[in-house]
Structure 1
């Protein structure tokens, strides 16, 4: 099948590469000439495990191409994916200006029946607006489909190639059949393709992320209560997760959620409801809890030290989660800004996000080549992102390198008893 993907950000690159991997002829389009040049050379603008290898393989096989010429990509395509940015607008809802501009450009390039697919995370009703934008500039027959991305950064290839479900929003039988053929290779293990109307598909994406964010904030509220009453959140979590109605996923307390999806999608869902005269009080509470949680490690440090000025601290982990270099809404950003604002010196280490971090902090922090180098001379260590390499550090070596011996474990990775046995003061999230 001939496919065009408009937008070469995270969603567009993963979708285009995976669709090429299943044998389709895919052309990815972007207005950024440098990005397209780099992609043609096999250089990615982001980090995602396995993506570079898969992209290069499909380029060599000539199933995957990159261009700045939208018309050249769209005109022969049977399916065109819109995967451009939909940033958060002033009201909290998705700003559709780039999506609608892409739709209009696509409309001008249509020469045959084409399925135009909303892959960007868009507000409820966006498919109708995309349809209107295309209709204004063409008489060629087309259908608009909502196909929300359901990818997790760090496992995006697995999520696309072996999804637990695919959501297709359309009222057109012709579009439904074509999309079913396109996704059939990815659901051979009986994962369902769920067909529905476009607005239900659009809302499903927001609702799924809001539910997961709610579980995280709920556990962070319970962790805060554990600290007040002397309970251990690890035991509480195990007791909750053993209930089959609840389960364990997303029940881990920590320093809050971040990334490009959860914060934006929760705000967008709240904004959408407000536009229709409904206040989602639960989700507003989810946001407040998450904001509080991002400040929790700094609050623990202030309580422990009193003053932070002229002290040196190490921060392990900058990305909002492991296996990505994405620092959008990352808890590390608020923590580091808080430490710097209190006059502290900060030494940071992340396996892949250091270059991204430079855009946030410039030369205001020291970028260490390893976790141990970051800890050298530090009075305290903050663990913010639970990369595997941080899970079993050499505590004796760590103690010998550090000037002070306090550990602020923002992901409850370490064994508190073991850490304390080595002479550290330990602070976790909801732990005794």
Structure 2
């Protein structure tokens, strides 16, 4: 008898849900509405089976439906609202059936209360089951997407062999092998490097960079590598062979990256035309990061001078090749509170003009000559000559104590 009028109640359920939950009507997925109709019918069938005395309280159909909606990114709030709407329809339907088939000795209030309890318990059960399944499946999807993005980032940063069909297929599906694309690598860290050892803080910086770049039409692949936030950013270089190329990707990124908080230092590579150049771009971004400072928190690789690059390389790898007189000069300069090195730099900035150098330092020209003589006594070299001056400035800059 419970099965009488099932089509009518299913239709009433569908109408109530569509009126109160606009997400179904707004969805362009052709499978959403048929899926809803089938799910409502499954719910009615399960209710009638339970009231007929079935001991099978299996809600697998609820789990399957929640997984499908999670797969299609259908909002969980809309699903839960659906169950609230069904409760409004099912409760009076069950009450009317119960009263119609109750014998004369039944107490009306008890019948109504029992039906209400059943409807509430059923709605709570399917809502809880659907929520748990939806959240769990969403987490699995997020982990799978995270694994895919991690693998993509590793392939791009470490390079790949063109014979590796799997890597090529993964990049092609993600759109990284399309023509007329430019790529730029961004490297970032906290002003305090030790903070990057905290995974949560490093991830917050990655999220912050991802958020500011989300406002652009550029594609971003971001992750944390070796205590640095690394992002591979790509964008269209030109629409076709007949259109003018757009401005460099790095130039478009600078204004956005400056919006990241003041605790971040950021280095950027030059644009590269294909994924095969991304490993080199990553090296450029890390080098540029070394020159970022409070005064210039976002440092493009193109803004780093050749002199700065040479000094950085020498400071890290050529300490044993520095001249033997350098240590004596640095000790004397420290004792003079930096006046000797300041004199050399002022003399160079004044195009080797003693009078102009003295003016820059607000001292008498004879003071410049006296300091030059002292430097000569320490090093055995004449600092007023071009070659010696250049060597001394480079050696001082290349020293780790500089």
**TM-score, L = length of structure 1:** 0.24
Which is greater in Rg? 2
